[in-house]
Chains A and B, each alone.
Chain A
């Protein structure tokens, strides 16, 4: 058992250096979207607990702060965490859309933060089959007409195939690497898998940095494209 809690610094400490780093992340995504629309964004990493969920919730908070309509889809059905980050019960959600044909609008939580959420709901077997189903893809497509931004919190790449499946219907991927935690070889091999899949990796977030110890380098968002893959 492990105690963990998520901090949404953009909401809790909006004037902090950490919050500013997430605003830079949003700006960089915007810059990369001049010629190619980036509306559906997947947050993933090579290994578990590298900071995907923290990145998802803080990026969503930046969009909400800018008055954009944003939703987070928790597509990590094996270890869902978005409900924890927003202090919501997780008994209703995507499960009901998939198995009970509930209208997905009824399952969306309008959180007080201004961010909408689609939680996983009850446990589902065979998430990879669910994630590549027409029903899932249809919902994501429909949400494109309803939201400015859709952020998908997904499982790590090296653990299961789910993240690769999700990457096929998103506009871009943010690849999260945890400072002093993610192994270099793991970070590389996760990235290689995404490339082989022809996924559009927008860049990498170096998470887990103590800004007080790393004043110059705080909350760094590193641009990554297929041309400079060796920089990671």
Chain B
């Protein structure tokens, strides 16, 4: 499995505040079957998560070494979950924030409750810098209910990520139904854990559910999307 969205890197956002917890989160990911784990700390001015790439790289290298010493069979990559505003374009240019690993894909999120930013504009702006925007947990945006809108964003070049926890129904029936419908319509590119210390990892459960409902091809396509590696 490839998990492109997780708040496991310690000390840099609200994901994990200790090394031990982060190690445990990696162990849980491995238990779920994750072989390629992206660590995507928030970059979000409004919540003061402003740890930049240079700082994250230092923590990441040290954390990677810790995992390596344990001999665990998991590849780690660094990225960011970027809360979109027009200012992040300059941060991307200056490489203060990072795409996912060595790919040209950038994980972006928006306000969950109200449309503060024009999503198509965001997709256009990030694409025109040469990146592929991956919109995080699309099913969670309360104002994004028209499934045709998802198709428009994809047509503009965006990729779509949904949370494993939404697939298993932990975010409510509405979000679960939305996520399932999007999978059915072939409009999901990645399922990810979005795991924090405070939230369990549901990748294994979600995989089983998708496997049962949509078959192995679909499950592999969205849980094991190698295009980001």
A contact set with B: CB distance below 8 Å:
1-3, 83-84, 87-91, 122-123
Which 7 pairs, one residue from A and one from B, show the smallest C-beta to C-beta distance?
A1-B149, A91-B89, A89-B125, A3-B152, A89-B128, A1-B152, A91-B86
CB-based nearest A residue for B154: A3
Known contacts: A3-B155, A3-B156. The answer to whether A90 contacts B121 by CB under 8 A is yes
Contact yes or no, A88 B89, CB < 8 A? no
Residues of B within 8 A of A1 (CB): 119-120, 146, 148-149, 152-153
CA distance A89 to B86 in the complex (A): 9
CA distance A122 to B152 in the complex (A): 23
Known contacts: A1-B146, A3-B152. The answer to whether A83 contacts B89 by CB under 8 A is no
CA distance A88 to B121 in the complex (A): 11
The size bracket of the interface on B is: 20 to 34
CA distance A123 to B116 in the complex (A): 12
CA distance A87 to B86 in the complex (A): 16
Residues of A within 8 A of B124 (CB): 83-84, 89-90
Q: In chain B between 84 and 127, which residues have their CB closer than 8 angstroms to a CB of chain A?
A: 86-87, 89-90, 119-121, 124-127
CB-based nearest A residue for B151: A3
Q: How far is the CB of A123 from chain B (nearest CB, A)?
A: 8
CA distance A89 to B155 in the complex (A): 18
Given A3, A91, A123, which contacts B125 in the complex, CB threshold below 8 Å? A91
Contact yes or no, A83 B128, CB < 8 A? yes
CA distance A90 to B129 in the complex (A): 10
CA distance A83 to B120 in the complex (A): 13
CA distance A3 to B126 in the complex (A): 17
